[in-house]
Structure 1
Amino acid sequence: MTTDTATETTSLPPGQGAPERQALDQQVMEQRLSKLLELCRAGRPEEAEAPYRDLCAAPPRDADGLLSLAEAARILARPADSVAWAEAAVRSQPDRAEGWSVLALAFIAAGRSDDGYAAAAEALRRTGNGAADETAAIQAATQAHRAQALARLRLGQLAEAAAACDAALRLADGAAQPTRSLRQAQAETLGTLALVRMLEGRPDEAEALFRRALSHRPILPEILGNHASLLARLGRDEEALEQAEQAVALRPRLAGTLHLIGTLHHRAGQPESAIAAFHRVLAVDPGHLDARLRLADSLRVAGHWEEAAGVCRDGLARIANPDDPNRTPLLANLGAALQSSGDTAGALDAYREALRLSPDLPEVHNNLARLHQETGNPDAAIEELRRATAGRPANQPLPLPLRRALLSLLVAAGRTAEAEAEAFGIARTAPEDAELCFDIAALFLQGGWRDQALPYVRKAIRLAPDVPRNWIAFAETLRDADLPGQPGGADQGLRADLLAALGRPEVEGAGLSRAIAGVLTGSPVFAHLAALPEESGPALDDVSRALLADGSLAGLAEDALLLAHLRTAAVCDPTLERALTRLRRVLLLALTGPGLPDRPAWRTLCAAIAEQCFLNEYVFAETDGEFQVLAVLLRAAEAVLAGGEQPPAVLVALLGAYRPLYRWERAAALQSMSWPEEIARLLNRQVAEPLAEAAIQGELPELTPISHPVSVGVRAQYEENPYPRWMTTGLLPEPVPLSRFLHTLFPHAALPASPAWDAPGWEAPEVLVAGCGTGREAVWAASTLKNAKVLAVDLSRRSLAYATRQSRRLGLNNVEFAQADLLELGTLGRRFDVVHSVGVLHHMEDPMAGLRVLRGLLRPHGVMEVGFYSAAARRPIQAARAFIAERGHPPTLDGIRHVRRDILALPDGHPARAVARSPDFYGTSACRDLLMHVHELHVTLPWLAGALETLGLEFLGFRLADPAVAALYRKRFPEDPAMTSLARWDRLEAEHPMIFGGLYQAWVRVRA
């Protein structure tokens, strides 16, 4: 006897007999049942357990008491007990409808829908029997109809379930004096009808019915839980979770609602909370298969692989029949947990047993394929997915994610023909799906198959022209690509795409220069121009005037792609450069004769050429004849200005095509005049911007002294030739958190080892760009990393002024530029989350000393990107430097022009001729940086590995310009999916010396 029951015992007065004692016992029983139900309904099942067990040992004998005990058992999640007590009540009073109704609900809670429907029918047949009054009879009938509705609902008969609910509600609405119990029955029926409407896909009606049901008091937890399910279906997860938590607070053993809570936490990326919820489900119902599977999945996501495997094994132990299909999902989840933990053999056994029970399991085939791939057997992975396809009906192809996985494997394995066929098959199933086309293109790009990627990425652009990643992929597909010239030019669609790409902020126009050159040089007029002789003379004068007179050049003046390219990026093709050099000369000679025609078309073309020449810093060759004509032209312009008149616009454009206008003493006078749009643009580029940079130089702070001899020499070079002169750089539409950026770059890396990963500093990282040059990397960091605060330093004030002006033009206010020597940065007393120093350390006397300084500037949880010249990939540069030294060319504009002329004249097989492939060959400062630098060193990967070891730095991976290099590494070394072995990279570079394009760009962090 519990303490609570003892307090309910009352002693009989002397002389009282058996009838009185029976009445008193009945009163005590009713009190005990009432207290039990109160504890159950108040959500206190633990406190209810002991009273319930005591009552089970000495149960009531009357039907009402047995029905109360059945209700308590249902709330305590004991469906079998609930059925037993309800059956006892029916045996005690078989004609009473209420007993049959309670039995029907008990059957349904126990999963016996057919028995529940039969019991509900019996309740309706006996409606009125044993009822104290008409209201009680209506209540019994209402519950019976609701039980029928629930039974129909469990059987998927939604229309019949709705009809039964309607019948129950009509009865309840017709009651003259509804009792509290009847109102509760009405609320429960409204909740059941709401559930039916939800399953019928009528959410608005379901929402209204749930609201009506919940307006009754007390609120019923089952209805709260079902309403939470509706909210979750509507994507209102926060509201759903709140409702579900309210429901289980009232009734902690609502397994379905607990399962929903776990699902919502899992969906929100909160695996630990999901795990707790699913454990509660299994505590109530150990046989709840879906909760067990979700629990295993959440444990696996949280990294608790052994526990996940244990949950699956426990579920399998509960299923005695080895051929029971319910074992299949448990085996699949067991395999996934074992695979994550590295137990390859165990995972294989689990997957094979799952496939024995259910051969058509795409997810298991996919996991098996990944397992084969992870263990270095890509061919077996492909065959596994092929097996998943075999035997499937033609109208049921492999699910799209698995087809993409197969395509990815085929690309990685280099099986081009099969990959193309698979990609075509995938695209054919969804011809208007831009995301699918992008995914296919991305896979081909990962394999280095740009030709195969191009049609898909162009289709993605046509379907979704405003999606930035489509344009990024387009630029990547054509980056530094050679498109063979086509008679009459390339197709207009490709021209239009290239032109549009040049106007996109996320596209770096320089990367498209070679592809655009391939399109433009297919034009016969460019072939004609390129074939013109180098030297001027009377014959060339006549040819020049003839070309203008017969309209041969008119198309160039109206070629939007040509004009956009000239204005935005340096030409990086020798044929196109030669044609443009001749075109500049033709325009100079033809347009400076008598009358000096100032037609808009020629003016536009001359201005665009002038912008190109300013961009490449006048690297185009000049002849003596041009120099003489230019001198005459300059005197004519000065005479016009001296007379107070405005010179012809085309004359200004021609002058700007040969000399930077800001160096002309008449530049200020030109700015004060009114000009056509293209000349105003040219004057802004060649006068206003350089003058603004000159003013900025005087404003820049100096953080450290610059006294090291090598630093002084490097500074002098970049004061003369700031590098690079960039116009556009790929800007993402939205910055990304540092953590996401690094996880995207290195998905296999366990980032980070330190708990500081989630600290506030990572939400607003402090970034140092050490050796920022003209600011491209600083702009990248400031615009790419969310909330970044960037300090960018360099030796050259002229480079820093260019960087500052460009960052202001882009509206960036989170980057600070200053002059400093990297070797002295340790005196700043600052630490950074990210340090970026690419293309800098190899210009120092001792790169290791510079790397040690940068290591000291890194916070304990920080990361660093460093870039060094590769000794293997720089062999053509070394050959070119030796070639230049033999001829004694100085690092001046004329010297650089002569260097380029001599190298382009070399035969293709000459080791120095390869440098003409570099984009840096096509600009004055860029060419000096590439071939005539004042000081540079080269390193090897073993050297880099030793340096990182010495400084306690861990290699995270390379940032690779070409994704095909990663595919090459994975194919060569499948046992290293993280690609973090510098020894293996060294072997790969020995086999393919140019894979790094001349520069190692390595991300590292402090070793844990």
Structure 2
Amino acid sequence: MKGFGEKKKIKNKQPSKKFARIPPDQLKAIAFKYHQQGNINEAQKAYEEFINSGLSDPDVFSNFALICQSQGEIDKAINIYKKSVKLFPGHAFSYANLGYLFFQIGMLDDAEVAIRQAIVIQPNLANAYSYLGLVLREKGRLTDAEDITRKAIELQPDLADAYVNLGQILQNQGKLDEAEHTTRKAIELQDDSASIYLNLGGILQDQGDLTDAEANTRKAMHLQADLPDVNLNLSIILKDLGRIEEAVFHVTREIELYPQKQSSYLLLNSLLEESDLSFLPERKSRVLLRGLLKRNDIAHKNLFSAINLLISEQTLDNISGIHQDLFDDPSFQQILADDEIISALGLMLFTTIAWEKALTNIRKIICISSQNNVFNKRIINLTIALAEQCFLNEYIFTCTKQELDAIEKFKLSCLRSDFDLKTLSILACYIPITHLCEQFPSLRGFIDANEKLNNLKIMQLVEPECEHELAASIPKYGSIDDGTSIQVKKQYEEHPYPRWRYASYSRENIQTISSAINNEINPNRLSINLPKKRSRVLIAGCGTGQQIFDALSYANSELTAIDLSSSSIAYAKRKAHEYGIEHIRFIEMDILDLPKLNEEFDLIECTGVLHHMKDPSEGLQSLLKILAADGMLKLGFYSELARQDIVEARKIIKSESFEASNEGIRLFRDKLINGEYPNISSISNWPDFYTTSMCRDLCFHIMEHRYSLEMIASLLDQFELRFLGFVLPSIVKKDYGRAYPSDSMQTDLGYWQQYEQANPNTFRQMYQFWTNQR
């Protein structure tokens, strides 16, 4: 059992003398009375007096352990339970409660053993069956979990917890109507439980009934304002409703209440894809950004829109126009003093022309005037952050002759092994440290007390060398014979795409494949029949691994990732190791060779890949040969309409013979930035414009097919595939829903084609959607 009444904080843990002369049986009864009344403080004192008197009673041990457990004293609670089962091996409740505690701390095998022992001792103990159902659910054994939990209800039809647990199990199985009915039964039995309303809200959200989901979640909040997850879940629902500002408010409230909860930061980060925080006072915005910037478990790129608001474009323009005396300029001093900007430079790409011009000029003046200026700690740290930014964008900033001359002078000092913090920081803004070490081997031994410089060495030296070693260990399958595949492989070996620092990843952020897909194709809903075994997931074209981290959230699955490029896979594998993930199978191979694996996959993701093949249909056919009959397939293709400026850019690149080299890419960009191609100036709005590898992929790719939605529909018909829904921001789906209310599931490609014609940037990234076989 979980205890008596609501858990309350203990304000005073001092032992009390008022129980000292009370007979044991009476003291035990008093303790139970206090516990049942919710007076945890007095109950604890009575239990402690009972135990400290040398008395033993299994119910006292078990209930006192429950209090310790509720106060976070986990080790103490476990020891008390263990003492109880040792002294009273026939006490089923102690075993059941010990098992439930093991479940709460993730010790699932120990939990199952303890709870099953409780059932052996007392076969009619309904609570034990309910607990066992939770454990089996967590282990992914959903059918067994359902059967066991139904047994609990059979034994005790008024056990609300069992109905709650069964509702969660049914929700995980995709049996949403049953889950709703079961959870509403729990509310009939216990209508004052905030957590049950919270669960019902989650089920209704999965059903797509966002209005009722919001209402029930707010009911939970009304009953218990500080209930864990209530603000978080409400924020998710509001995000799906397109009410982003409200969603930010509630996830921020969750963070204030539970600052250690990672999932709240992940949600806030995802909300910043759709909001720049401009509706908040700058002070509040900075507090949120500061909390996100210090984390290494989120993808910081989502923060740039909010970061960009911290400095005005006028300030950036002022910096771009400075030719000397940079260090005394008020605009430069503003950036120098901005801790959020300095932190962000090493974590995300700065993707506006105004920022590129300002940072390019700062780098230039720091480089050519370094001999005439004293570098204080702030300027050193800015230079190191700028070196991180330059490494992330693959040194795409233009470089003047003055800078090249200054760099040669720095190199001469390095030949004399005359290294110092300033020299290395400046050089790393132009040349990665791994290349500098090839020229100056003694640089490897350079040590400085500046922690930021040591982190820079990890980024620019240790990590690239690790990737080089990993590339040699990646297994290869088949042979890459297709001419287009060979050329595409060459591109991604030279420029692994894209570079990134951190991923939005949590070991706790696990959801069933059914829930994950339904969340993406919302408002459409599917009942997905998952295999009883572990689901086999394939990422076909994993690149540098960002997509892998999204797929790691699939519950009860095993993951295979393939790519043409060993350099890209090595990057992905290093990132996986960085997060302690060792169970991914990486293979270097062509999609065309997939049938030779003689394997079948329950879910395949292949986005942004097929449109770079000579014949995308051939690639799709290869995928379908290894997709299970009831499997799910996620695809992504370029939109012809959304990429008109890219089409024009490719024509210019071809007509002016720009090479797909670092210098050729830089030259093309410089001309565009300087206004020589006004008809394609919108390309600078693409985030991919701001790194070498991404710009190459965007404008210089050796092979690119683009589609209309009519062509997508034809392709799906050709292979007898069903369109299940687009992966799009909630605000876009909300707008589409207003425009085409008759398409309630948002799966009519004809309507979507009309919508895209009216909103040509809708699929700016690509058409990304789920499908399965008819």
User: Which aligned pairs between 1:27-66 and structure 2 lie closer than 5 A?
Assistant: none
Which of 763, 767, 770 is the aligned partner of 2:540?
770
448 and 579 in structure 1: CA distance in 2 versus 1, 3 angstrom threshold: farther
Q: Cα deviation per residue 1:642-695 (whole Å; 9 max; x = unaligned)?
A: 3x4423321222222123343344242211222343333333322333333334
Match of 2:441 in 1: 668
Return the alpha-carbon distance in structure 1 between the equivalents of residues 567 and 168 of structure 2.
56
Match of residue 897, structure 1, among 646, 666, 675: 666
Q: Name which of 375, 382, 390 aligns with 1:613.
A: 390
Residues 448, 710 of structure 1: CA spacing in aligned structure 2 closer, same or farther, 3 A cutoff? same
CA distance in 2, matches of 1:443, 1:646: 59
Contact 1:299 1:305 in 2 (8 A): no
Instruction: Give distance in 2, aligned partners of 1:590 and 1:304.
Output: 68
Pair 448,622 (structure 1): closer, same or farther in 2 beyond 3 Å? farther
Q: 1:530 aligns with which of 293, 310, 320?
A: 320
3-state SS of paired residue (1:519): coil
Q: Is it true that 1:589 corresponds to 2:368 in the alignment?
A: yes
Partner of 1:964: 731
CA separation in 1, counterparts of 2:486 and 2:272?
39
Structure-2 separation of matches of 1:681 and 1:277: 55
1:462 match: 256
Question: Relative contact order, CA 8 A, sep 6+: which one is greater?
Answer: 2
Structure 1 Cα separation of the partners of residues 167 and 587 of structure 2: 51
Q: Does 1:731 align with 2:535?
A: no
Alignment partner for residue 645 of structure 2, among 876, 879, 895?
876
Distance 1:806 1:686 in 2: 15
Is the partner of 1:859 in helix, strand or coil?
strand
> In the superposition, relative to structure 1, how do residues 480 and 613 fare at CA in structure 2: closer, same or farther (>3 Å)?
farther
The 1:885–1:248 alpha-carbon spacing in structure 2 relative to 1, beyond 3 Å, is: closer
The residue number in structure 2 matching 1:650 is 422
Match of 1:715 in 2: 489
- Quote the Cα distance in structure 1 between the aligned partners of 2:661 and 2:115: 71
Show the counterpart of 2:706: 938
How does 1:671-750 map onto structure 2 within 5 Å?
671-677=444-450, 678-734=452-508, 736=510, 738-739=512-513, 741-742=515-516, 745=519, 749-750=525-526
Counterpart of 1:997 in structure 2 is 764
Q: 1:645 to 1:659 in 2, by over 3 A?
A: closer
Match of 1:520 among 293, 300, 311: 311
Query: Structure 1 stretches of 5 or more lacking a match?
Result: 1-191, 212-226, 250-256, 283-287, 309-331, 338-362, 386-399, 407-425, 533-539
Give the structure with the higher percent helix: 1
Letter in 2 for 1:947: L
Q: How does 1:335-414 map to 2 (within 5 A)?
A: 402=215
Residue in structure 1 matched with residue 612 of structure 2 by the alignment: 843
| Amino acid paired to 1:446 | D
Residues in 1 aligned to 2:167 and 2:515: alpha-carbon distance in whole angstroms: 26
Shift of the alpha carbon at 1:928? 1.3
| Pairwise CA distance, 1:927 | 1.0
Specify whether residues 975 and 271 from structure 1 end up closer, same or farther in structure 2 by C-alpha distance, changes over 3 A only.
farther
Match of residue 87 from structure 2: none
- How far off is 1:753 after superposition? 3.7
| Shift of residue 847, structure 1, vs aligned partner | 0.8
* SS of residue paired to 1:570: coil
Distance 1:304 1:793, change over 3 A: closer
Indicate the residue corresponding to 1:119 in structure 2: none
Q: 1:891 to 1:645 in 2, by over 3 A?
A: closer
Equivalents in 1 of 2:407, 2:299: separation in Å? 36
- 2 CA distance for matches of 1:304 and 1:455? 32
Counterpart code for 1:460: E
Give the 3-state SS of the residue equivalent to 1:834 in structure 2: strand
SS of the residue corresponding to residue 520 of structure 1 reads: coil
Q: What's 2:341 paired with?
A: 562
Percent of aligned pairs sharing the same letter? 25
- Note the alpha carbon deviations across 1:95-146, whole angstroms, 9 max, x for none: xxxxxxxxxxxxxxxxxxxxxxxxxxxxxxxxxxxxxxxxxxxxxxxxxxxx
Question: CA offsets per residue over residues 766-816 of structure 1, 9 Å max, x none?
Answer: x322222222223443x4335654332222232233223333333321123
Q: What is the one-letter code of the residue matched to 1:684?
A: I
**Structure 1 residue 582, shift from structure 2 partner:** 1.4
2:382 partner letter: L
Distance of 2:631 and 2:255 partners within structure 1: 37
Match of 1:500 in 2: 291
Q: What code does the residue aligned with 1:450 have?
A: I
Check whether the contact 2:175–2:527 (CA below 8 A) recurs between aligned residues.
Answer: no
CA distance in 2, matches of 1:785, 1:519: 37
Any idea what the Cα deviations from partners look like across 1:374-406, whole Å, max 9, x if unmatched?
Answer: 9x9x9xx98xx9xxxxxxxxxxxxxx9637579
Answer yes or no: is 1:922 the counterpart of 2:690. Answer: yes
Q: Which residue of 2 aligns with 1:48?
A: none
Question: Is the partner of 1:784 in helix, strand or coil?
Answer: coil
Map Cα deviations across residues 11-57 of structure 1 (whole Å, 9 max, x no partner): xxxxxxxxxxxxxxxxxxxxxxxxxxxxxxxxxxxxxxxxxxxxxxx
For residues 621 and 690 of structure 1, the distance between their equivalents in structure 2, rounded to whole angstroms, comes to 23
Match of 2:15 in 1: none
- Contact 2:244-2:274 within 8 A present in 1 as well: no
In the alignment, the residues of structure 2 paired with residue 553 and residue 629 of structure 1 have an alpha-carbon distance, to the nearest angstrom, of 20
Which residue number in structure 2 is paired with residue 865 of structure 1?
634
The residue aligned with 1:573 is 352
**C-alpha displacement of 1:907:** 11
SS at match of 2:305: helix
Secondary structure of the 2:496 match is: coil
Aligned pair partner of 1:792 in 548, 557, 561: 561
Gaps of 5+ in 2: 1-28, 48-55, 61-91, 102-110, 138-144, 186-195
Q: How many residues align?
A: 673
Q: Which amino acid in the other structure matches residue 671 of structure 1?
A: R
1:713-734 Cα offsets, whole Å, 9 max, x none, are 2122222222101111111242
Cα deviation code 1:402-451 (max 9, x no counterpart): 37579xxxxxxxxxxxxxxxxxxx99998767744434433442233434
Give the counterpart of 2:414 among 636, 641, 653: 641
Change (3 A) 1:728 1:937: same
Q: Which amino acid aligns with 2:666?
A: R
**Kindly tell me: are residues 640 and 431 of structure 1, through their superposed partners in 2, closer, same or farther at Cα, counting changes over 3 Å?**
same
Farther-moved stretch of structure 1 (990-999 vs 707-716):
990-999
Judging changes above 3 Å, is the alpha-carbon distance between structure 1 residues 273 and 473 closer, same or farther for their aligned structure 2 residues?
closer
Q: Give how far 1:497 is off.
A: 2.1
Any residues of structure 2 matched to 1:36-185 within 5 Å, and which?
A: none
Please state how far the C-alpha of 1:509 moved relative to its aligned partner.
Answer: 0.9
TM superposition score normalised by structure 2: 0.72
1:547 aligns with 2:326: yes
Matched residue SS, 1:790:
strand
When residues 198 and 975 of structure 1 are mapped into structure 2, their CA distance, relative to the original with a 3 A threshold, is: farther
Kept in 2, the 8 Å contact 1:598–1:649? The answer is: no
2: CA distance, partners of 1:445 / 1:911: 36
